[in-house]
Amino acid sequence: MCHEDISVSSVTTKQLSAALWRLYHRSQRPFPFTNSGNLPYDDPAFSTRMLVEHLDESHAAASRTAVEREAQIGWMTAKLGLTAVSTLLDVTCGPGLYAIPFAKQGVQVTGIDFAPAAIAHARELAEKEGARGLSFIQQDIRQMELPANHFDAAILLYGQLAVMTKDEAQAVLSAIVKALKPNGRLLLEMLHPDHVDKSDSNWWYTDDTGLWGDAPFLHLGERFWDADERVSIERYHILHLDSGQMDEIELCDQLYEPDEMREMMKKAGMGKTAVFPAWGELSLYDAGEWIVYIGEKKQSTIN
């Protein structure tokens, strides 16, 4: 892309210079979860830009396509035993792309997400589609306060449990299980540890507008593998060329082996957990990258 007529003020030049020196002096290897470990979904501007990606049917980088979601919803309905009188908790529900189809089957759905644009879109879409029995809550799932023994089932998709520390993940699982009825089921989608890139790498690109802003920016990306903690860390430095401002964002993915995840589900109050590599061979473009866990709450769990 060519920008022949861009003029840069002396103030911006100084800010760009300062940003580049910050980049030069950056830590060589970041520690896991020192900078939240997740994308800034709760930032209104970022949330609005991310919503565009969620709704873009030309790729599946943010949300799966409608055809794949339809297949998943049918599979989940059967595995979770959902009926027209069931109650479902959709944790990290995003813009309601799963919650609303479930609701149109008659399921009573509560969706939770901390992205303001996603929640606003979910509410608008539910009204537009005439979907009933839905409620959407804008909240960080680490602060969930849910009624005990209320839901027949819960879902937590696209590996979102992995972007928090193990202690936080365990607390979230416990909160979800507490909200399930006895024998209620939790479906959890996590990255398959054998399919995660464990090499260090870096990349860069420029664009006029996109996920990181509405003006020209330079994206500098790095990936690190922490073998001791079994965490993949991506660090992005986003240099905004019109202002000289630089944002630093880190995205962590904590990997879990199936036995470890089963143990966490058990500790949260699950009696048994079934494991389905590759979505039980469901026809998804990236099915092999995922493992689905379905746990059933013990009747004797005390809340």
The per-residue pLDDT for range 67-112, each reduced to its tens digit, is 999 999 999 999 999 999 999 999 999 999 999 999 999 999 999 9
What pLDDT score does 7 carry? Answer: 59
Arithmetic mean of pLDDT, 6-34: 88
Residue 216's SS3 state is coil
- CATH 3.40.50.150 at 44-194+255-297, yes or no: yes
CA distance 37 to 53: 20
Who's near 271: CB < 8 A, 6+ residues apart?
295, 296, 297, 298, 299
| Domain spans of the chain, in order of start | 44-194+255-297, 197-254
pLDDT band at 36 (very low <50, low <70, confident <90, very high): confident
| Residue 2 pLDDT > 90 | no
45: nearest Cα among 213, 160, 174: 213
What pLDDT score does 35 carry? Answer: 86
| Residue 254 pLDDT > 60 | yes
Percent of the chain with pLDDT over 90: 92
Read off the DSSP letter of residue 231.
Answer: E
